[in-house]
């Protein structure tokens, strides 16, 4: 009997390309997050710690559970368009910041980045190659298609002075003038998880080298690279997939999560529509962002905005960057 493989397209959370196939003649399956996370970015949930690897996916492992609060429906429960993995389970987040399936919601609860609003709006005039990774102090940046290093595409961890021999926590980084080290699963910085780097404010780093020091997902087959272990069973949101000849065959059960399609009431600033100027006409009652400020549109179709000084009005070059943020 022929087999039907599943097609996912949940608000661009990820896509599986498939077809109607004869038995055991399984077509190539491709799974990618709608938007890749920035490698080494770390999320601490109530029962999990998740670290972004160079495949653009958050790899999660369990930790001792903290008190689990009842989630506020007005808040994001996961990073929009991101893909999370724990062992053989994959969970996708919708473009509106909710788990695609109830199973994932019950498993992970809330997994959201803690943003640094100061660094998020910092802009530079430092050019980069789209798709490439860069190290800036103790952070990692992913170059987007505008060909500039901007901190809305970087991890935003603080960079206090650390010592290589000290106990560390998942996601923490040790940076010296010639080393960049990521904390491993036994809470230490070891040479095996360190890179040799230059004493530069910004420098390119090869993805395969960075992958070698991120202690997550190292023993997992990569679904992004279309490889799996034969006869293994995987879970994708609420569906089951079997690996046949290194390719995936999945059920196509519609996932049920009543909050998946709800727009959050308290929009994260990055999800707000952007105004080009503070006198632009707008839709009454709707919220917008203008640079680093938030605006509410009044009844006269005029935005009323907060008045913070925006870092994006200040362009930082490599010299200033090194003088101002390098911590070692």
Q: What is the rounded CA–CA span in Å between residue 271 and residue 275?
A: 13
Q: What is the rounded CA–CA span in Å between residue 327 and residue 282?
A: 43
Q: What is the rounded CA–CA span in Å between residue 12 and residue 10?
A: 5
What 3-state DSSP class applies to 266? coil
Residue 300 has pLDDT above 80, yes or no: yes
Nearest C-alpha neighbor of 179 from the set 189, 170, 169, 171: 189
Residue 39's pLDDT is what?
93
Average pLDDT over residues 274-291: 86
Residue 312's pLDDT is what?
61
Average pLDDT over residues 131-157: 87
Residue 314's pLDDT is what?
59
Q: What one-character DSSP code corresponds to residue 250?
A: E
**What percentage of the chain reaches a pLDDT higher than 70?**
71
Residue 142's pLDDT is what?
92
Residue 4's pLDDT is what?
32
Residue 95 has pLDDT above 80, yes or no: yes
Residue 106 has pLDDT above 70, yes or no: yes
- Quick: pLDDT tens for 225-258: 556 677 778 888 888 888 777 777 778 788 876 5
Average pLDDT over residues 125-149: 88
- Quick: pLDDT tens for 18-76: 333 333 333 334 456 778 899 999 998 999 999 999 989 999 999 888 877 766 666 78
**What is the pLDDT of the chain when averaged over all its residues?**
77
| More confident position, 28 or 287 | 287
Tell me the pLDDT band of 2, cut-offs 50, 70 and 90: very low
Q: Strands 48-52, 58-62: parallel, antiparallel or unpaired by DSSP?
A: antiparallel
Average pLDDT over residues 1-14: 36
Q: Are 141 and 38 in contact (CB under 8 A)?
A: yes
Average pLDDT over residues 122-151: 86
Residue 171's pLDDT is what?
81
Angle (CA) 184-212-167 rounded to 5° is 15
Residue 308's pLDDT is what?
75
Residue 214's pLDDT is what?
87
Tell me the pLDDT band of 262, cut-offs 50, 70 and 90: low
Residue 23's pLDDT is what?
38
Residue 66's pLDDT is what?
81
Nearest C-alpha neighbor of 241 from the set 221, 216, 219, 215: 221
Q: What is the pTM of this model?
A: 0.73
Residue 119 has pLDDT above 70, yes or no: no
Residue 150's pLDDT is what?
79
Residue 85's pLDDT is what?
93
N- to C-terminal Cα distance for the chain?
A: 63
Nearest C-alpha neighbor of 184 from the set 40, 20, 291, 9: 40
Nearest C-alpha neighbor of 264 from the set 34, 93, 117, 121: 93
Residue 9's pLDDT is what?
38
Q: Are 239 and 6 in contact (CB under 8 A)?
A: yes
């Amino acid at each position: 009997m022929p087999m039907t493989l599943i097609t996912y397209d949940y608000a661009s959370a990820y896509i599986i390309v498939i077809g109607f196939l004869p038995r055991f003649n399984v077509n190539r399956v491709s799974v990618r997050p709608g938007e890749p996370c920035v490698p080494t970015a770390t999320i601490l949930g109530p029962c999990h710690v998740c670290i972004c690897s160079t495949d653009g996916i958050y790899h999660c492992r369990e930790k001792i559970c903290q008190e689990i609060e009842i989630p506020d429906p007005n808040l994001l429960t996961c990073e929009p368009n991101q893909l999370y993995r724990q062992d053989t389970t994959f969970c996708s987040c919708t473009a509106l910041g909710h788990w695609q399936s109830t199973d994932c919601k019950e498993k992970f609860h809330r997994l959201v980045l803690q943003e640094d609003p100061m660094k998020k709006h910092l802009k530079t005039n430092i050019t980069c190659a789209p798709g490439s990774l860069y190290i800036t102090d103790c952070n990692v940046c992913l170059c987007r298609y505008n060909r500039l290093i901007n901190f809305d595409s970087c991890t935003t961890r603080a960079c206090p002075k650390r010592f290589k021999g000290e106990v560390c926590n998942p996601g923490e980084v040790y940076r010296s003038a010639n080393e960049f080290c990521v904390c491993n699963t036994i809470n230490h910085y070891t040479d095996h998880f360190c890179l040799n780097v230059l004493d530069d404010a910004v420098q390119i780093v090869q993805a395969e080298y960075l992958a070698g020091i991120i202690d997550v997902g190292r023993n997992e087959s990569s679904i992004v690279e279309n490889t799996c272990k034969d006869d293994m069973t995987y879970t994708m949101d609420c569906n089951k997939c079997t690996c046949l000849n290194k390719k995936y065959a999945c059920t196509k059960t519609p996932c049920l999560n009543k909050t998946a399609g709800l727009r959050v009431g308290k929009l994260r600033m990055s999800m707000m529509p952007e105004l080009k100027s503070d006198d632009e006409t707008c839709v009454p009652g709707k919220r917008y962002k203008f640079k680093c400020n938030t605006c509410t549109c009044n009844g006269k179709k005029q935005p009323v905005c907060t008045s913070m000084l925006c870092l994006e009005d200040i362009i930082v070059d490599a010299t200033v960057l090194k003088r101002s943020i390098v911590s070692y």
